[in-house]
A and B are shown apart, each in its own frame.
Chain A
Amino acid sequence: MIYLDNAATTRPKPPGVAQAVVQAMESYGNSGRGVHDDALAAARAIFGVRQRLAHRFGCSRADHVAFTPNATAALNIALSGLLGPEDHVISTDWEHNSVLRPLYRLEEAGMGVDFLPADSQGRLEYDRLESLLRPNTKVMVCTHASNLTGDQIDLTRISAFAKAHGLILILDASQTAGAYSIDMTGMGVDILCFTGHKSMLGPQGTGGLCVREGIFLRPFLVGGTGVQSFSKSQPEEWPTCLEAGTLNGHGIAGLSAALDYLDEAGCGTLERERQLARRFYDQVKDLPGVQIYGDFSTQERAPIVTLNIGDWDSSQISDELAERFDIATRPGAHCAPRLHRALGTTGQGAVRFSWGWANTQEETDRAAEAVRALALEE
Chain B
Amino acid sequence: MVTFATTTSALAMEQACKAQGLPGRLIPAPRRITAGCGMCWSAPVESRERLEELIVRLQLDVDGIYRILL
A230 touches B11 (CB 8 A): no
- Are the C-beta atoms of B26 and A240 separated by less than 8 Å? no
Are B8 and A240 interface neighbours, CB within 8 A? yes
Question: Contact: B7 with A32, CB < 8 Å?
Answer: yes
Q: B20 near A: Cβ within 8 Å?
A: no
Q: What is the interface size of chain B, counting residues whose CB is below 8 A from a CB of the partner?
A: 19
Residue in B6, B15, B35 whose beta carbon sits within 8 Å of that of A235 in the complex: B6
- Is A114 engaged at the interface, CB distance under 8 Å to the other chain? no
Chain B residues with Cβ below 8 Å from A63 are: 6, 8-9, 12, 61
Q: Which of B15, B36, B38 contacts A47 (CB 8 A)?
A: B15
State which of B6, B12, B27, B39 has its C-beta within 8 Å of the C-beta of A240: B6
Interface size of A by CB at 8 A reads: 23
B61 touching A227 by the CB < 8 A rule?
no
A231 within 8 A of B: yes
Majority secondary structure, A binding face? loop
Is A82 positioned at the interface, with any CB of B under 8 Å from its CB? no
Give CA–CA (A238, B15) in the complex, Å.
18
B9 CB contact (under 8 Å) in A31, A229, A231, A237? A237
- Residues A231 and B36 in contact, CB atoms below 8 Å apart: yes
Q: Find the B residue at minimum CB distance from A240.
A: B6
B28 at the interface (CB under 8 A from A): yes
C-alpha spacing A40/B41, complex, angstroms: 13
Residues of B within 8 A of A32 (CB): 7, 38-39
Does chain B have a CB within 8 A of A226?
Answer: yes
B residues with a Cβ closer than 8 A to A are: 4-9, 11-12, 14-15, 26-28, 35-39, 61
Residues of A bordering B, CB below 8 Å: 31-32, 34-35, 40, 43-44, 47, 50, 62-63, 225-231, 235, 237-240
